[in-house]
Structure formats: C-alpha cells, structure tokens
A and B are shown apart, each in its own frame.
Chain A
Amino acid sequence: MNIARIKRRRRILFLLLGFSALSISGTLILLATRDSIIYFYSPTELLNKNNIENKLIRIGGLVKTGTLKRKENLKINFVVEDGKNEIKVEYQGILPDLFREGQGVICEGKVIKNNIFSAYKILAKHDENYMPPEVADALKKSGKWREGENN
C-alpha cells in the first residue's frame, strides 16, 4: 500500500471520528434543550398566554412599591409590574442582596392558578444602576420606560 493511500485513509478515519463526536454532542444538545430552555415573559405577555401553568418560566419587571410583605417561615409576597399589568409573586427564602421595591427583578418559577407566580429563584443584579435587558424591554413595550432614569 502506498503512503498517500494510508494517509488518506487516516484522514478519513479522523474526519469520521470528528463527525461522530459532533453528531453525538448534537444529539445530546437536542435531548438536553427540550426542558432546559426557559422562556421569559413580562406580566402583560403572561396575561395573553394560555396553558402556561406549571411550566418553568421566568418573569420580570419592577417590584411594585409598597407590595413587599414578609410572613413567617421566610415566606415573602410581592407584586411585579410592567406598568400595564401586574402579577403576584410568592417566594420562600432569603432575597438577594440587591432586591428592593421599585427595582428591576427577574423571578424563575411557575404560574400557579389565579395569576399567582410561585418563584423558586429570584435574580436581582449586581450593579445598582443596572436594569436587566429583558426587564428594560418589557418596560419599553408597556411605555413605562423613562430614558436616562432607568438606565
């Protein structure tokens, strides 16, 4: 067998290996993404969605001033608004450091009945001036965005 042929065969072998690695990872990706992609909705968008109950989603907006209530066992209630609509959020646990009324927030969890959102994770951002882009967009859509003030 001449050297060129052996070389070509090796190259094909490695290409096949690379190809199979990519296709295996592709399959893994498809298997994984089915339930690990989390959709984000603003309270207004949420209102128009059907069959959203018990699906893992994220919602975001501003924490409505004056709605934060603490109960026993670290249970917390507050309202997230985007200027047009709002949704009540229930959470149990310690709130992140930068969580404040009137500030942007993202909650991950599920809608349980009656327009109540049960959050298992609350994200507030590091930077006190920072607005999560999703929340900023949601506020822009509802017309509540004030340039310069929120940015």
Chain B
Amino acid sequence: MLVELGHFCLALALSVSILQFVLPIIGIKLKSTRALATSTYSSYLFFCLVSFSFISLMWAYISSDFSVALVAQNSHSLKPLIYKVTGVWGNHEGSLMLWILVLSLYSLALSIIGKNIPLKIKSIVLSVQGLIASAFTGFILFTSNPFLRLLPPKLEGEGFNPILQDIGLAIHPPFLYLGYVGLSITFSFSIAALILKQADSIWIKWVRPWAMLSWTFLTIGIALGSWWAYRELGWGGWWFWDPVENASFMPWLAATALLHSSIVAEKRNTLKAWTILLALIAFSFSLLGTFIVRSGVLVSVHAFASDPSRGIYILLMLILFTGGSLALFAKNAPKLKSGNMFSPISREGAIVINNIIFSAAAATVLLGTLYPIFIDALTTNKVSVGPPYFESVFIPLMVPAILLCGFSPMLTWKRAVFDNIYERIIFIFIVSILITSFLIYIRNGSAMTFLGIFLSIWLFLGTIYDFFERILRGKSFNEVAKRIVSYPRSAYGMSFAHIGVSIFILGATMSTAYKTEIETSVQIGDKIIVENKELIFESIKQNQGPNWLADVATFRISHNESDISFLYPERRFYPASQINTSEPAILSRLFYDLYIVLGEKDIKNKNFAVRVYYSPLLNFIWIGIAFMAFGGILSLSDKKHRVSYKTLRKNRNLSIK
C-alpha cells in the first residue's frame, strides 16, 4: 500500500515539477507576480512528494517487501540493516530516485535561503530547476520505475552484489550526487542571467557559494569512491581511469575551473560570460556522467546492466540541456556587459590560464572516455583506451597548472608587477630544487617521480610563503595575531586547498613510484619479506558472517622485534548470489600501507594464493583530498557569503522592479 502511495506521489511530483517549470514562464509573459511566486511553493511541494516517495521505497527495502520487483532483485532479508537502507541507491532505479531527491533538496534550499533574491530571477532559476526535475522524474516513471510489483511475489530476494556491501560505497553516491546536482543551481542561475541578459556583481555573489558547495561535495564523493575501490577491489590501486571514474572527474575539472573563474567574476566584475559558460559546461558534464554510468554504453567495472531505451532518453536530455543552453549562450552572451580590464600578468591572468588548462584537461579526458563509443559507432572495431593515454595527456597538462599555482596567489589583481615577486619565486624555486636534489641523492627514481616531488614541494612552499608573508606584514606581535584572526576564511580555504593539492601530489607520486607488489602462493608457516617487513602466514580459520562464509587468514607482521601487528585478509563466499569475494586487509600507517589479498585455495596442496602490496605515503592521497575538501568548507563558511544573501533584505525594495 505504501509502495503504491509512493508511486502515486512520484507521479504527482512529475506534474508539480512541470508546473514549477511552466508557471513562471506564464508569469513573465502575463507580468503576473502571483504566477511567478508559485515557483517557491512548487519547490516545497516537489520536495515533500519526492521525499515521501523515496521514503516509501526505502521502507520496502527495510521491510524486505519482495513483492516489489526492484527489492526482490537487489535485496536480501539477511542483509544488515544499514546495507538494506543504502541498497536503495545501489541500483539504476534507486540511484535515480536519489538524484531527484537531491535535486528537490537543492531547489528547496534555494527557495528558503534565497528568499530575498528578486522574484523574477529566483522564479526563472526555479523554473529551470523544474524543467530538470520534470525531465528526470519522467525518465524514472517511463523507463525505470522502481515501484513495479512482482506477481507472484518472491519469497527471498536475489541478494545484493557483495562487493557493494561497504560503507565507503554506501555513502559515496549521496556525496557524488550532492556534487553533481549542486551544479544544477549554478546552471539555472546562468540560464536566468542569459535570459535576462544581465549578470551583475550581486548575481555572481549568489552563484559562487553554490559552485563552492558542489565542488566540495564532488571532491568528497570522488574520494570516497576511490577509497572504496582501493580497499575493496583488491588491486592495490586507487584510480583506474575507468569510464565511470572519468565521468565524475570531468565535472570536477569543470567545477574547479568554475570555482576559480567565479572568484575573478566576483572580485573584479569581469570574466562573467566565461563563468556562465563554465557553469553550463559543468552541469552538462554531470548529465554526461549520468549518461555514461546509466546507459551502459561503455565497458566499466561499475556498469549496471541496462537497456538501450534508457540510454536514448538520457542522450535526448543531454542534447536538450547542453545544446539548448549553449545555443542560448551563443545568442545572448554577447549582450552581457563586458567587465573590467586586466593585464595578462595579474591574478586574473593566472586564473584565466588555470581555466584554460583545466578546460583542456576536461576535454582530453572527455575525448579518451568517448573515443571507444565513436569507434564502435563508426567502424566494426571495438577498442578501449587505457590508463597510459590518460597519464601521458593529463599529467603534462597539470604541470604548468601546478607551477602557476605556486606563485599566482602572490600576484596582485588587475596588473601585477613581476619584479615585485621575482625574488620570491626564485627563492622558492631554489629551495624546492635543493630539497628535490637531496632526495635524488638518497633515493633512486625516474625523472617523472622527481618532477612530482618537486611540484609538490614547490606548491607547498609557495602557499606557505604567501600565507606567512601576509600574516607577518604586521609589525608587532599583536598586529600579527590580529592579522591571523582577521585573515578571511576564504583565503584560509584557498591555502588549505592548495596545500591539500601539494600533499596529494606527493602521496600519488610516491605511492605509485615506490610501490612493491608480490604475488605468491603460501602454506601455513611460510614467510614473505616486503621492504624489511616480515609477513608470516600463521593460520587459517572458518568464519561466518550474516550472509557469508569466510576463510580468514592470520598474518603476523613484524617490522622489528618490538613492533608486531596482525592482518586478517578474508575470502568470503556469499551463498545467496554464489559469489566469492576477497576482502583485503590493510595495515595503514602514516608513511606506508601494507595490503594483503587472500586469493583462491589450491585443492591439491592446500596452498593459498596471496598478493601483497607495499605503498609508501598512500595515506597522503586521502589526507591531501581531506585538506582540499576542508578548504572548500572553510571558504564556504566565510561571512561574505552569508552577507551577500542577507544584505538583500536591506536592498530588497531597490532590486525589485
């Protein structure tokens, strides 16, 4: 009954979202304030209906209602409660429900926070949100309905993909979607600016926090997915340039560019058309990401089984939103007032170069991701584009971006005098070179490795130098303390994020370059030596989990005589789905990760296949990303963002015409 009610609410939500789209348009045509004002209420109503619908689906999972086809296919009564709940979005239909739930949440948030945005702008923004909402709700209802009943009902569910039973993966989609869908707000604001042909300085102040918020969520979401792949897939790697990873990486690159250009747009009131274009592109990448993951056009470790009609529907949506918005941009962008001027050597200039590099990087990732589709469509060949392509294209593009990032915060706005920072750059360069040379002296490695290390040190020193220089400009101790306190949070955010990038580069470089991999077959009592560490295979025992049986091995790891730890890699068997999985065990220290995978058992001689990875500084990858995300949150908490929404109240009467 609840399921039918949920289904009904979803159908109602579709009509509400269509109203949310249409009524503001009528309001503008007829100059009716009342019709415009409905958009706020539509967004409230849409949120209520979608949440109810989502909760009813979740309830079907929790209560293991196997008369619902989706639940019967994807759940199992023996599954732990937390994975029943997160299992809602562990499949195609449910993940789309999560998509529109997040969308409705963003529209609601905009309606509430943006109470004082001029009605005309706000209702156009909500109208575009309504269009997106109706397209996706329609997609769910017509091609991927999660509420279909099964007759006769099943007695037991068909289980749930055991590899997906992991907390990292369970919370990865919500964060990723908060990022993806957050870009819809910047998209809608851009459309509103294009329709009204005005993007003034207050407009960019409304847009920027949403770009920052989406970027932060996207960063966390991608990191969680990568962390899951690292711990769960048993390959010891954390990024595979898989099409689905690229699908989330492209919006991230575009959002990073957007984040930087919106700073220029806000501070200097220029580059606005470009910022609008980036917002359109970023959301298009989100849609493309959804298309790639959901349509199954690409071979991927993540692909859900799917049928082609869905792919065509999403492709049509992609064409509508991307094509439509770009056409609108081409038509109306030249009518936007052009902004202030700046010299190529200035903070703006540096950010423009950053934008160009990030756009080029997104374009090359796009090319590599879509190339197999083109080849498949145009020829009879089937190809795949491997990591070597992405590594040899992406890394060289990032080198100038990082070099630039090391000193561009020191440049002044509008027109920088290079002579003023020349000495600092030389100083940082020499120190970085000295540290890198010292490392070359003590350890072997390839040129690429030392380039990575150099860039990391360069960026770190550049960021720290800039920060301290600003702080220490004060003469006395008190003045310095005052500067530390009053230093804007958004500037702290930038420093944190850039230091995060530097830590990330170090971790990624070191863990890749100095990784050791051993694959062998062991008996109880055997010894494996990795990087001065002794691993002894001590015992194996059977274990039983809620829905699996497992062989659990015990490895004793001795670093030296006093430092001993144990690792318990498992090999699980899930009777419900007849699947074997390996659960790697990871000893994670600050400076290295030791990773053991237990493979299959040899029946004849009772040997176990074992794979061991030693990766130095792997944790720096996660620490670096955490710094980036924290930087985003810090910057978001800057009071100027709140102010830009609050001061509206005072100017309210002025801005509504």
Contact = CB atoms under 8 A, between A and B. Distances in A.
Interface residues of B, number: 56
A32 B163 contact: no
Contact of A18 (B296, B356, B383, B384): B356
B356 A17 contact: yes
A87 B520 CA distance: 26
Interface string B42-67: 00000000000000000000000000
B15 interface: no
Interface stretch (A6-14, A77-85, A111-119): A6-14
Interface string A105-136: 01000000000000000010111111111100
B375 to A, nearest CB: 8
Interface stretch (B276-284, B391-399, B477-485): B391-399
A7 B341 contact: yes
Given A3-B341, A97-B580, A151-B305, A29 B393 contact: yes
A130 B163 contact: no
Contacts of A123: 301
B341 A128 contact: no
Contact of B385 (A14, A33, A95, A137): A33
Interface in B558-612: 577-582, 597, 599-600, 602, 609, 611
B363 interface: yes
Interface in A46-102: 58, 70, 72-74, 92-95, 97-98
Given A25-B393, A29-B364, A37-B385, A94 B519 contact: yes
Interface residues of A, number: 48
Interface in B286-301: 296-297, 299, 301
A40 B386 CA distance: 12
A22 B384 contact: no
Contacts of A35: 388
A31 B392 contact: yes
B383 A74 contact: no
Contacts of B521: 72-74
Given A6-B341, A32-B393, A97-B579, A137 B382 contact: yes
Nearest to A3: B341
A74 B519 contact: yes
B652 to A, nearest CB: 35
Interface of A: 3, 6-7, 10, 13-14, 17-18, 21-22, 24-25, 28-29, 31-33, 35-40, 58, 70, 72-74, 92-95, 97-98, 106, 123, 125-134, 137, 151
Given A10-B344, A38-B384, A151-B305, 8 more contacts: A10-B342, A14-B352, A25-B397, A28-B393, A36-B386, A39-B383, A70-B602, A126-B163
Interface of B: 161, 163-164, 234, 296-297, 299, 301-305, 338, 341-342, 344, 352-353, 356-357, 359-361, 363-364, 367-368, 371, 381-389, 392-393, 396-397, 519-521, 577-582, 597, 599-600, 602, 609, 611
25 contacts: A10-B341, A14-B352, A17-B356, A18-B356, A25-B360, A25-B363, A25-B397, A32-B388, A33-B389, A36-B386, A37-B371, A37-B386, A37-B389, A38-B386, A40-B384, A58-B384, A74-B519, A74-B520, A92-B519, A95-B600, A126-B163, A127-B304, A128-B578, A129-B305, A132-B299
